[in-house]
Amino acid sequence: MDTRISLPTVALGLFLAATAASSAFAAANETVYKPDSNAPRASVPEKYKWDVSGFFKDSAAWSAAFVEAEKDILVLNAFKGSLGEAKYLKPCLEDYFKARQQVDRLSAYANMKASEDDSLLPYQEMSQRALGLGNRFRSDASFIRQELLRLDEDAAAKLLADESLAPYRAYITDLRRRRSRLLGTEAERVLSLAGEHLWAETDLNEIPSDIEQVFKAVKKDIQLPKVKDEDGKEVQLTFSNYEKYRASKKREVRKGAVEAFLGALSKYEAILAATLGGEVKRDVFMARARGYDRSIEAYLDRQDVPPSVAENLVASVHQNLGPLHRYVELRKKILGLKDLHLYDLYTALVPSADAAIPYEAGLEDIKDALEPMGEGYVSALFGKDMLGRGMVDVYPSKGKDSGAFALSAWGFPPMVLLNYQDDIKDVSTAAHELGHAMHAKLNIAAQPIQDSGYSSLIAETASTTNEMMLARHLIAKYQGNDKMQLYILGRLVESIRTTIYRQALFTEFELKVHGYAEEGTPITAELLNKTYADLVKLYYGPGFTVDKDDGAEWSYIPHFYWKHYVYSYACGLASGISFSEKIVAGDTATRDRYLAMLAKPREAHPVDIMREAGVDLLKPEALKAAAKLMDETLTEMEGLVAKQSKP
Residues involved in catalysis: 433
Q: How many CA atoms lie within 13 A of 492 on its CB side?
A: 31
Percentage of the chain surpassing pLDDT 90? 85
pLDDT of amino acid 67: 98
pLDDT of amino acid 20: 42
Q: Write out the H or E segment, with its range, that includes residue 285.
A: helix 269-289
What's the rounded mean pLDDT across residues 427-442?
97
Q: Report the distance separating Cα 127 and Cα 90, nearest Å.
A: 32
pLDDT of amino acid 646: 74
| Mean confidence (pLDDT) of the chain | 92
Residue range 468-479, pLDDT digits in tens: 999 999 999 999
List beta partners, residue 417. 393, 405
pLDDT band at 353 (very low <50, low <70, confident <90, very high): low
Determine contact, residues 134/110, Cβ cutoff 8 Å: no
Strands laid side by side in the 415-417 sheet: 392-393, 415-417, 405-407
pLDDT band at 264 (very low <50, low <70, confident <90, very high): very high
CATH class, 54-201 region = mainly alpha
Q: Report the distance separating Cα 156 and Cα 149, nearest Å.
A: 9
pLDDT of amino acid 647: 66
Q: State the helix-helix crossing angle for 606-613 and 588-598, rounded to 10 degrees.
A: 160
- Look at residue 245 and tell me whether its pLDDT is greater than 60: yes
Number of Cβ within 10 Å of residue 431's Cβ equals 25
What's the rounded mean pLDDT across residues 521-525?
98
Residues 6+ apart with CB under 8 A from 219: 239, 556
Q: How many CA atoms lie within 13 A of 72 on its CB side?
A: 22
pLDDT of amino acid 290: 96
pLDDT band at 529 (very low <50, low <70, confident <90, very high): very high
Q: Report the distance separating Cα 559 and Cα 514, nearest Å.
A: 14
Q: Which of 25, 21, 45, 32 is nearest to 357 (CA)?
A: 32
Determine contact, residues 193/210, Cβ cutoff 8 Å: no
Strands 405-407, 234-236: pairing is unpaired
Q: Report the distance separating Cα 399 and Cα 42, nearest Å.
A: 12
Number of Cβ within 10 Å of residue 619's Cβ equals 12
Strands 415-417, 392-393: pairing is parallel
What's the rounded mean pLDDT across residues 58-70?
98
Q: Report the distance separating Cα 229 and Cα 130, nearest Å.
A: 39
List beta partners, residue 257. none
pLDDT of amino acid 197: 86
Amino acid, res. 419: N
Strands 392-393, 405-407: pairing is unpaired
Domain ranges of the chain: 54-201
Helices vs. strands in the chain: H and E counts, helices first: 26, 5
Strands 234-236, 415-417: pairing is unpaired
Q: Which of 40, 44, 11 is nearest to 359 (CA)?
A: 44
Distances (CA, A) of 352 to 330, 335, 347, 348, 637: 18, 12, 12, 9, 16
pLDDT band at 644 (very low <50, low <70, confident <90, very high): confident
Q: How many CA atoms lie within 13 A of 83 on its CB side?
A: 26
DSSP string, 563-603: SS-THHHHHHHHHHHHHHHHHHTT-HHHHHHHHHHHTS-TT
Residue range 584-632, pLDDT digits in tens: 999 999 999 999 999 999 999 999 999 999 999 999 999 999 999 999 9
pLDDT of amino acid 177: 96
Q: Report the distance separating Cα 379 and Cα 12, nearest Å.
A: 6
Burial 509-537 (b: 16+ CB within 10 A, else e): bbbebbbbbbeeeebebebbbebbbebbe
What's the rounded mean pLDDT across residues 308-318?
97
Residue range 542-582, pLDDT digits in tens: 999 999 999 999 999 999 999 999 999 999 999 999 999 99
pLDDT of amino acid 352: 61
Residue range 386-424, pLDDT digits in tens: 999 999 999 999 999 988 999 999 999 999 999 999 988
Residues 6+ apart with CB under 8 A from 638: 330
The beta strand positions in 297-386, using DSSP E, are none
Q: Write out the H or E segment, with its range, that includes residue 102.
A: helix 86-116
Q: Report the distance separating Cα 48 and Cα 394, nearest Å.
A: 5
pLDDT of amino acid 11: 34
Determine contact, residues 72/99, Cβ cutoff 8 Å: yes
Residue range 154-211, pLDDT digits in tens: 999 999 999 999 999 999 999 999 999 999 999 998 998 888 888 888 777 778 889 9
Q: How many CA atoms lie within 13 A of 348 on its CB side?
A: 19
How many residues are listed for the chain in this entry?
647
Residue range 2-21, pLDDT digits in tens: 333 333 333 333 333 434 44
pLDDT of amino acid 17: 40
Q: Report the distance separating Cα 395 and Cα 34, nearest Å.
A: 9
What's the rounded mean pLDDT across residues 257-281?
97
Percentage of the chain surpassing pLDDT 70? 94
Q: Report the distance separating Cα 519 and Cα 371, nearest Å.
A: 51
Judge residue 164's burial from the number of C-beta atoms within 10 Å of its C-beta, 0-12 exposed, 13-18 middle, 19 or more buried.
Answer: exposed
pLDDT of amino acid 22: 42
Q: Report the distance separating Cα 522 and Cα 276, nearest Å.
A: 12
3-class DSSP state for residue 539?
helix
Strands 392-393, 234-236: pairing is unpaired
Sign of the torsion angle spanned by Cα atoms 532, 537, 540, 546: positive
Q: How many CA atoms lie within 13 A of 180 on its CB side?
A: 5
pLDDT band at 425 (very low <50, low <70, confident <90, very high): confident
- Look at residue 24 and tell me whether its pLDDT is greater than 50: no
Q: Which of 518, 507, 501 is nearest to 562 (CA)?
A: 507
Q: Report the distance separating Cα 452 and Cα 127, nearest Å.
A: 24
Q: Write out the H or E segment, with its range, that includes residue 412.
A: none
List beta partners, residue 139. none
